[in-house]
Amino acid sequence: MEPAIEVVEVEGGRACVLAVRAQPGARRERVAGVWNGQLKLAVTAPPEDGRANERLCAALAELFGLRASDVRLVSGERARSKRFRLAAPAAAVRARIAEVLA
């Protein structure tokens, strides 16, 4: 069984913060599994000028069916371990992650 991914409920359950392990410069974009309690997400964009962060935001919006404006980088701008705020309930995010990793 995969270890639990860190998803923290915020704003009274209207949003959550998701821990993500970035893999910039990958050959293809995909959910690459779990790494130390973080959702490992591979993106093709290089880690230059914030391009990988922008692509991570867009990939998370696509993955969870959100608008681009509903995903915001909270911390880890220049690190591989990042935290994103998603305008979605934590339970819905956990369910979608379980679906993708199954």
Q: How many angstroms separate the CA atoms of 55 and 6, rounded?
A: 21
- The helix-helix angle for 90-101 and 51-64 (nearest 10°) equals 90
CB neighbours of residue 59 within 10 Å: 20
Q: How far apart are CA 31 and CA 98, in angstroms?
A: 12
Residues in the chain: 102
| pLDDT tens per residue across span 14-59 | 999 999 999 999 999 999 999 999 999 999 999 999 999 999 999 9
Give 84-98 pLDDT, tens digit per residue: 999 999 999 999 999
Domains of the chain: 7-101 (3.30.1200.10)
**Do 84 and 57 touch, CB atoms closer than 8 A?**
yes
Residue 3: pLDDT band (50, 70, 90) is low
pLDDT at 4: 84
